Structure 1
Amino acid sequence: MKKHIILLLIILMLITSIAISGCSNNSKTSETSNTSESAQNEVLTFKFAMVDNESSNYYKGAKKIAEEVAKSTNGKINIEVVAGGALGDERSTVELAMNGDLDIATAANSVLTNWIPEMSILDQAYLWDNADQAHAAVDGEVGNLIEAKAEELGLHVIGYMESGFRNVFSKKPIKDISDFKGVKIRTMQNEYHMAAFESFGAMPVAMPAGEQFTALQQGTIDACENAISNCLANGFYEVTKNITYTNHAFVYIIVAMSDNAWDKIPEDLREPFLEGVKKGYEAQRQYLVEANTEAEKKLKELGVAFHTIDTNVLKAAYKETAAKRKFTFDPEWQAAVDKAIASVNN
């Protein structure tokens, strides 16, 4: 009898143990399921830093990127655009992104040249005859080269906005290369841009962008150069009543993401994310065209005169100076540039 009672107790203990174990496993399965569901529903938010203000076409483009990314990822990725240099200038925000302390930074291609010297090929004057060539380059093999080098720095280049071709804003009319003689013109600290104006007969003066308006007022410089919309946005028309269509240089605005931020994007969302970014930066390119057209109209109303100049003469002068100074570039990058030009010309 005792044996039967003991056996019965053992059976009851086994049944109880199995039941408890089953409940525990069901609880763990439920927790795992809830965690997985929570991860899928989590919204990623990235900070996107830029130096341009909220009235610029660049900010409009950045907001379009944010809009398109939200749409293409079904709201799973949110981009917060921080404008006006609130998080630092171009160089410092790129460094923050490299260190993983900022999600997305923007910078002119000449800024990235500090870390990717091969990119200096893009700083040349009269590199592109038109915007189609410039786009073919970064949307093709030149872009691939930039992206590979950037990854070594802890950055993912995800897009190419632009400020496009630059023109000259001057106090006196400039209609011929001879009119550049003795003109003190503000440029970026860029040897190729400065060499171009030297070849035209001008006197390039490198200074920070924020100082040029006062320098124009005080007569420290006679001219500056940038996209036409920049002349209106920064009030240069108050002291420079002439704009010359030199189209001497083309400037990209690189959009780069930190490794830390990129690694947070789930694999299945990376392609939709990049598709959204592309739609946004392609829209910015059109916003720039519209901004320049609108600015030209308003500037003419404000009494600014627009002048054409023989750019073939300017290009020849620069090429001669470049040859004398023996400007050479990485063969692989030169081949990629040549291929972009040929793809459009053919």
Structure 2
Amino acid sequence: MTKLQTLRTSLRHLATAGLVATLTCSAAFAETTLRFAHFSVVDDPNHRAVEALAAMVAEATEGEVAIRISPNSQLGGEVDVVEGILLGTIDMAPPSAAVLANWVPEMNVLNMPFIFRDWDHYTSVLNGPIFDELSAAAAPKGIRLLGFMTSGPRHIMGRMPVNSIDDLAGRKVRTVQNPVHVATFNAFGANATAIAYPEVYSALQTGVVDGADAANTNYYTQKFYEVAPHWAQVSWLFYTNPIVISERKFQKLSEVQQAALLEAGRKAGQDQQADWKATDASLLDVLKENGVTVTTPDAAPFRAAAQEVYDEFLATDAQKQLLLLITK
């Protein structure tokens, strides 16, 4: 068995027949079924985390609440899904903090470039006081925060080599649909282009954009390396995916059911953070085996260029207080 085959096997090890049967049975007999949409393939830490969350909720509520999972952007991209949550056509999802910030601006503090020093700093922040602060900000907007998943440190992929920040000058680079992300890549000298996640592969394949950003894991699982084989390890952002539910739907549940969702959301998120970290680290060699050219540009020019983004987006006292929860 090759290293690639071994990795694929390990990525699927939690999706056992027993778990699938349990979740199917729960959905069939549950008093309440929650529709959970996410954007990843099933061989991904995100999908495993949602399956684990569903199992925990089913057990804690004695089968009263079931979570029906729609993976791989089956119900649309991140903007579509957040709109669905607010409209009531979708109940739960892990949209990125970048997309959620369009409705909950306080989330933008998690989107600032180079704000997290490393994995330990990042996970300590996610599981600290900022959770309650962002929960309080999101609830009045119709969104209940249950936990934090991650998509790890973001690097830059290209149809062309990226050896330094100068190689981004004038290049069309896809970003998530968030003004901080757009401003950051413009500050890097690129021509930032916001495109929905399900369209990234085709945009790279057809040359609509020259590059994009991702983590090792989704760069691999989404096969972006097939159309953008140059991979620059920049770690410009640790990407956060809050687990959320419609506040309106949440308030219709009993206190016991609410408590089950809150506990399961935090636990599933924390486990996913560890799972993603381990998976992400293991993939760099696999990517090289698939013909990817990996570079490590000097991060200092990127950091210097990003300072103007802080000046633009963290101007109010409230925003600066949230920033202190991360940088103190």
Q: Which residue of 1 is the match for residue 93 of structure 2?
A: 105
For 2:47, the aligned partner's letter is: Y
Out of 279, 287, 291, which is 1:291 matched to?
279
Query: Counterparts in 2 of 1:6-45, with a 5 A limit?
Result: 43-45=31-33
Alignment of 1:232 with 2:205, yes or no, is no
Q: Which residue of 1 is the match for residue 49 of structure 2?
A: 61
Which stretch of structure 1 is more off in the superposition, 41-50 or 138-147? 41-50
Bigger Rg, structure 1 or 2: 1
Segments of structure 1 that go 5 or more residues without pairing to the other structure are 1-40
Post-superposition CA distance 1:262-304 (Å, at most 9, x none): 2343324443442222221112112222332343232111111
Contact 2:170–2:191, Cα closer than 8 Å, also in 1: yes
Q: Which residue of 1 is the match for residue 153 of structure 2?
A: 165
Contact 2:42–2:72, Cα closer than 8 Å, also in 1: yes
Q: Which residue of 1 is the match for residue 210 of structure 2?
A: 222
For 1:220 and 1:268, the matched residues in 2 are separated by: 49
Q: Give how far 1:144 is off.
A: 1.8
For 1:242 and 1:82, the matched residues in 2 are separated by: 31
Segments of structure 2 that go 5 or more residues without pairing to the other structure are 1-28
Query: Counterparts in 2 of 1:1-346, with a 5 A limit?
Result: 43-319=31-307, 321-322=308-309, 326-342=312-328
Secondary structure class of the residue paired with 2:95: strand
TM-score computed with the length of structure 1 as normaliser: 0.77
Contact 2:123–2:273, Cα closer than 8 Å, also in 1: no
Identity %: 27
Change (3 A) 1:221 1:278: same
Post-superposition CA distance 1:8-29 (Å, at most 9, x none): xxxxxxxxxxxxxxxxxxxxxx
Change (3 A) 1:236 1:49: closer
For 2:151 and 2:270, the matched residues in 1 are separated by: 12
Q: Give how far 1:215 is off.
A: 3.3
For 1:209, the aligned partner's letter is: Y
For 2:39, the aligned partner's letter is: V
- State the superposition RMSD in angstroms: 2.6
Contact 2:101–2:178, Cα closer than 8 Å, also in 1: no
Change (3 A) 1:241 1:274: same
Contact 1:121–1:329, Cα closer than 8 Å, also in 2: no
Change (3 A) 1:232 1:326: closer
Change (3 A) 1:104 1:241: closer
- Number of residue pairs matched by the alignment: 300
TM-score computed with the length of structure 2 as normaliser: 0.81
For 2:248 and 2:88, the matched residues in 1 are separated by: 6
Contact 1:70–1:76, Cα closer than 8 Å, also in 2: yes
Change (3 A) 1:144 1:215: same
Post-superposition CA distance 1:231-271 (Å, at most 9, x none): 22222222322211111122211221223432343324443
For 1:81 and 1:154, the matched residues in 2 are separated by: 21
For 2:219, the aligned partner's letter is: C
Change (3 A) 1:176 1:154: closer
Change (3 A) 1:206 1:154: closer
Contact 1:168–1:246, Cα closer than 8 Å, also in 2: yes
Contact 2:106–2:137, Cα closer than 8 Å, also in 1: no
For 2:143 and 2:129, the matched residues in 1 are separated by: 18
For 2:209 and 2:79, the matched residues in 1 are separated by: 25
